[in-house]
Structure 1
Amino acid sequence: MTPAAESAEWYAKEVTWMVVGVVATLAVGLLTAWAAMNASLRRCRTTYEVVSNSLLPSDPSANVSVSHQGVRLGAPRAVTIYLRNAGRRDITSDQFHGGRPIAFDFGRAVLELPSVQSSASSYPIDVELEGNAFLVKPSFVRRKKGAAVTVLLDGGFATDDLAVRHVMVNGRVDPVDNLRNGAVEQLKAVALFIGATVAGLLALVTFVSSFTDRF
């Protein structure tokens, strides 16, 4: 074999291994991006929003007042929170880790639970009161469905006073304003997927072009 032929054979082998390396790197990048995007899409997501925060009419001098268990309330207030399964999948009761509920804590005693209205009447959300909070117990929540929960408080309340505690399996509970952040995460995953694909293809084209120019 002539030196030129040996050189060509060596170069061909080198380019082949470089192409294999690029393809392997591309495959790893694509799998990583796919896994990140798939995990983001599969995560269950519940949003909540304070849709009403109303001070109820109460004027003892006009014989108009609101009482609870015989005690007149000084500043009765009705607060309605809308919960929604904003994810792509139904939420099942086994996604409540250890059977623990989602707790919506108002920072003051919740006196009554006047209304719980589910948008999917065949699958009502199970809600109960406990101290300063109402609890969403393990429930089946259809995708894009939710419930409006109204509570009775006594005293001032601002949206920032609300604290939400949960231990969801592969899930999160966010204010509705933060739903946009979830969309951004998905877009980042898609961008990573596309970027890895384009970068790998460009590198592969460059190596092939270099090999062709040499011969």
Structure 2
Amino acid sequence: MTFGTAADASAGFDWGLFWAIVAAVVGTLALIGVGFQIVGYYRDHPKRRIEWSATARRLLPADLRPHEFEVSFRGVEIRDPYIVELRVRSNSRADIPSPSFDAGKPITFQIGQRDPIVFLDDSEARGIRIVPSFETRNGTNDVSMLIEPQLIRRRASATMSFVASGLPDIKLGEWPLVDVDVKAADTAGVARRSGRFLREVLLGAAVAATGGVIVAYITSAFLS
């Protein structure tokens, strides 16, 4: 009675089938990693959404009292001046057509009754047009910023800057859009989502590498 050697077993082993199985396993695990990425993309980029944020910077040092100075800008006296920026961005996978504005009403950002306000010329419009609005109520100006009905392309953005007397409280007023969310941008959430996306990519790579090592180890043990 004769016994086959390990060399004989190795010679009779179908290496083509083996590498095909390894490729199939690693490919499947890689597809799982890609799936994580796709799910993360659709989660972080909804079909139609407008995000906005506002920042303000005081021009006078904190230890100076506003009533001790007279500050004017373009001939307008402004006490305790602040430079304010409103940023709007379409974080969407699809365009927002102008008919999405219900009854032709604009998106409104309210600044409140604050007079005076001077809008700057360096405001940027990259696909979104923002216009100021002044309404006189009870003898004071009620100032707001409007995004009137228009086609808003995906990834379009705009920035409107102005100088205000005192720190304004910008609030989202009306947003008569059909099937479109308008919400404050979560800058901390962007960082969290970026970190989660990286972890998902690394997880997919780790799973694929681990699967390849396991398959190689089992095959080595079988041939030994």
TM-score normalized with structure 2 length:
0.52
Per-residue deviation, 1:180:
3.8
Match of 1:30 in 2: 34
1:56/1:77 contact within 8 Å kept: yes
Residues 184, 80 of structure 1: CA spacing in aligned structure 2 closer, same or farther, 3 A cutoff? same
Match for residue 135 of structure 1 among 141, 145, 154: 145
Match for residue 220 of structure 2 among 197, 204, 212: 212
Match of 1:83 in 2: 86
Confirm or deny that 1:125 pairs with 2:135.
Answer: no
- The separation in 1 between residues aligned to 2:146 and 2:29, in whole angstroms, is 46
Per-residue deviation, 1:20:
4.1
1:101/1:135 contact within 8 Å kept: no
2:90/2:157 contact within 8 Å kept: yes
1:85/1:146 contact within 8 Å kept: yes
State percent identity of aligned pairs. Answer: 10
1:46/1:83 contact within 8 Å kept: yes
Amino acid in structure 2 at the alignment position of 1:49: T
1:51/1:80 contact within 8 Å kept: yes
Match for residue 103 of structure 1 among 99, 108, 120: 108
Provide Cα deviations, 1:8-43, integer angstroms capped at 9, x if missing partner.
Answer: 99xx89x94x97466434413322324414764797
Match for residue 53 of structure 2 among 26, 41, 47: 47
Provide Cα deviations, 1:51-110, integer angstroms capped at 9, x if missing partner.
Answer: 24889759xxxxx9xxxxxxxxxxx77654212357899xx874995266443335x534
* Alignment gaps of 5+ in structure 1: 59-63, 65-75
RMSD (Å) for aligned C-alpha atoms: 5.1
Aligned residues: 181
Residues 189, 146 of structure 1: CA spacing in aligned structure 2 closer, same or farther, 3 A cutoff? same
2:56/2:167 contact within 8 Å kept: no
Per-residue deviation, 1:111:
4.9
Matches within 5 A, 1:1-215: 16=21, 20=24, 23-37=27-41, 40=44, 45-52=51-58, 57=67, 80-84=83-87, 94=97, 98=101, 101-106=106-111, 108-111=112-115, 113-120=117-124, 125-129=130-134, 134-138=144-148, 146-151=159-164, 161-165=169-173, 169=180, 172-174=183-185, 178-215=186-223
- The separation in 1 between residues aligned to 2:99 and 2:51, in whole angstroms, is 12
Residues 103, 50 of structure 1: CA spacing in aligned structure 2 closer, same or farther, 3 A cutoff? farther
What SS class does the counterpart of residue 144 from structure 2 fall into? strand
Per-residue deviation, 1:189:
0.9
What SS class does the counterpart of residue 117 from structure 1 fall into? coil
Per-residue deviation, 1:186:
1.5
Per-residue deviation, 1:137:
0.8
Residues 85, 96 of structure 1: CA spacing in aligned structure 2 closer, same or farther, 3 A cutoff? farther
